[in-house]
C-alpha cells in the first residue's frame, strides 16, 4: 500500500533509521522524523510524536531493530529495549513490540529483529484493511457517520480501525460523510482525524463534542463508529472520554453505535468494564487548551482519559474476523481464536 497511499505509514524503516510522522506538528505540517539512534526515538515516543496503541507496538519493535543496527553489544541492545518499553509508562503495546523484536534479535541477530518489526507493521495494516472490509456494509450509501477521537491511520501503522471502516466505505463508492468530534482535551479529532479525511478526500466536518447529540436530534447522523482501547469479555468498551455520552445519545435516537478494533483489543480475561481501571490524566490538560490557560489559577479539574460504554449500548463490534453481535460473551471468543488465522504472513 505504501507507494500510493495518501497517508504515509505512521512508522516505517527507512535507510537504517526509524521514520515516523511527527504528530506533534499536525495538522499544520506533515513532517517526518528520521530517528537514527535509540535516544531520538525514545524522545519521539515520550513527547507523543507517535501515539496510538497499534502504532506504538510497531514503533517498539522498530526501535529494538534500530538498537540492533546502531549499538555495539548485546547488553546495549537489551538496555535500549528496556528504555523503549518504558518511554510511555502505560503503553503496554510498546513493551510488547520491543519484547518480540528483542527475542528475535537474541535468537537470530540484527536482521531478525527488523524482520519482526516489519511483520508487525504489515500485520497491523492487513488487519485494519480486514476490519474495513467487514465494516463497510454498515455504512449506508451516502450515509453520515459520526466519530470521536482518532482511530485512523495515525493511531496505527496504516489504514485505521474506526476510520478504516469509513475509508473502506469511501473506497467502495458509498460516499460517506463524516462528523468529527474535536475530542477535548487533546483534540485528536480536530487535529488528526480531520487531517486524515482531508488527505483521503473524504467529506468531513468538525464539531465541538457538545454538538453531537444535537446532530442526532436533527437527523444528521446515520451511525456512530469509534475505536477502542480495551474491550471486556462481556463487550463493555473502554475508549476515549466522550465515547459513552455518544453511545447514550445514539441509543436515545435509535442510531446504531459501532466499535471497530483489532481482536488484540479483546481482553477476555477481564469479565466486564467494571474491572477496567480508568487512567486519570493531568488536570492541566483540561485547565489549558494547548499552552493557553483557560481556567482560573488554582481551579480544580477532573480528567479521566477514558470512559466505559456498556455492551448493551453497542450494536456491533467489528474486528478483522467480522462483526460480532450481542450477546458478546458468546460472539467475542471466536474472534480471539480466529484472529491468528485470518492474516497469513507475507507478502
Q: Where do contacts with a copy of itself occur on this chain (CB under 8 A)? A: 27-28, 148, 179, 181-185, 187, 190-191, 194-195, 198, 203-215, 217, 240-245, 248-249, 251-252, 283, 286-287, 289-290, 292-304, 307-308
Of the pair 29, 72, the CB lying nearest a copy of itself is at 29
Q: Sheet of 32-35: strands edge to edge?
A: 11-14, 17-21, 32-35
229 is catalytic: yes
Shortest distance, CB of residue 298 to a copy of itself, whole angstroms?
7
**Minimum CB distance to a copy of itself, residue 212 (Å):** 6
Residues in Cβ contact with 312 at an 8 Å cutoff, skipping those fewer than 6 apart: 326
Element (H, E) at 226: strand 223-226
Place of cell 504528530: 23
Whether the CB-CB separation of 237 and 260 falls below 8 Å is answered with no
CB of 9 to a copy of itself, least distance (A): 20
Record the cell numbers describing residue 3, joined without a space. Answer: 507507494
Q: Assess whether the previous peptide bond of 255 is cis (omega < 30° from 0).
A: no
Q: Which residues have CB under 8 Å from 295's CB, separation 6+?
A: 286, 287, 301
Nearer to a copy of itself, 72 or 292 (CB): 292
Beta bridge partners of 84: none
**Closest separation in Å from C-beta 201 to a copy of itself:** 12
Catalytic residue among 181, 229, 236, 307: 229
Residue among 8, 115, 92, 94 nearest 45 (CA) = 94
Closest CB to a copy of itself among residues 211, 343? 211
- Please give the positions annotated as active site: 229
Amino acid at each position: 500500500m505504501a507507494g500510493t497511499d495518501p497517508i504515509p505509514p505512521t512508522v516505517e524503516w527507512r535507510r537504517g533509521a526509524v521514520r515516523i510522522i511527527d504528530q506533534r506538528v499536525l495538522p499544520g505540517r506533515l513532517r517526518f522524523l528520521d530517528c537514527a539512534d535509540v535516544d531520538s526515538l525514545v524522545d519521539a515516543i515520550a513527547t507523543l510524536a507517535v501515539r496510538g496503541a497499534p502504532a506504538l507496538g510497531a514503533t517498539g519493535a522498530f526501535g529494538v531493530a534500530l538498537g540492533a543496527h546502531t549499538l555495539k553489544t548485546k547488553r546495549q541492545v537489551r538496555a535500549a529495549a528496556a528504555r523503549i518499553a518504558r518511554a510511555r509508562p502505560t503503553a503496554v503495546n510498546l513493551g510488547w513490540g520491543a519484547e518480540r523484536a528483542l527475542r528475535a534479535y537474541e535468537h537470530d541477530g540484527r536482521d531478525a529483529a527488523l524482520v519482526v518489526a516489519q511483520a508487525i507493521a504489515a500485520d497491523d495494516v492487513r488487519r485494519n484493511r480486514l476490519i474495513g472490509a467487514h465494516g463497510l456494509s454498515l455504512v449506508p450509501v451516502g450515509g453520515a457517520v459520526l466519530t470521536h477521537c482518532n482511530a485512523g491511520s495515525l493511531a496505527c501503522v496504516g489504514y485505521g480501525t474506526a476510520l478504516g471502516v469509513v475509508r473502506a466505505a469511501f473506497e467502495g463508492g458509498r460516499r460517506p460523510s463524516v462528523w468529527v468530534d474535536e475530542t477535548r482535551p487533546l483534540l485528536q479529532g480536530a487535529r488528526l482525524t480531520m487531517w486524515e479525511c482531508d488527505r483521503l478526500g473524504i467529506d468531513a466536518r468538525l464539531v465541538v463534542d457538545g454538538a453531537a447529540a444535537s446532530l442526532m436530534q436533527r437527523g444528521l447522523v446515520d451511525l456512530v463508529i469509534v475505536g477502542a482501547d480495551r474491550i471486556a469479555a462481556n463487550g463493555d468498551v473502554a475508549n476515549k472520554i466522550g465515547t459513552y455520552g455518544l453511545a447514550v445519545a445514539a441509543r436515545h435516537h435509535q442510531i446504531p453505535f459501532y466499535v471497530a478494533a483489532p481482536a488484540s483489543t479483546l481482553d477476555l480475561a477481564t469479565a466486564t468494564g467494571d474491572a477496567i481501571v480508568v487512567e486519570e490524566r493531568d488536570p492541566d490538560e483540561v485547565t489549558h487548551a494547548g499552552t493557553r490557560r483557560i481556567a482560573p489559577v488554582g481551579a480544580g479539574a477532573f480528567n479521566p482519559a477514558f470512559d466505559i460504554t456498556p455492551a448493551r449500548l453497542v450494536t456491533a463490534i467489528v474486528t478483522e474476523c467480522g462483526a460480532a453481535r450481542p450477546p458478546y460473551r458468546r460472539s467475542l471468543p471466536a474472534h480471539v481464536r480466529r484472529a491468528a488465522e485470518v492474516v497469513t504472513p507475507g507478502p
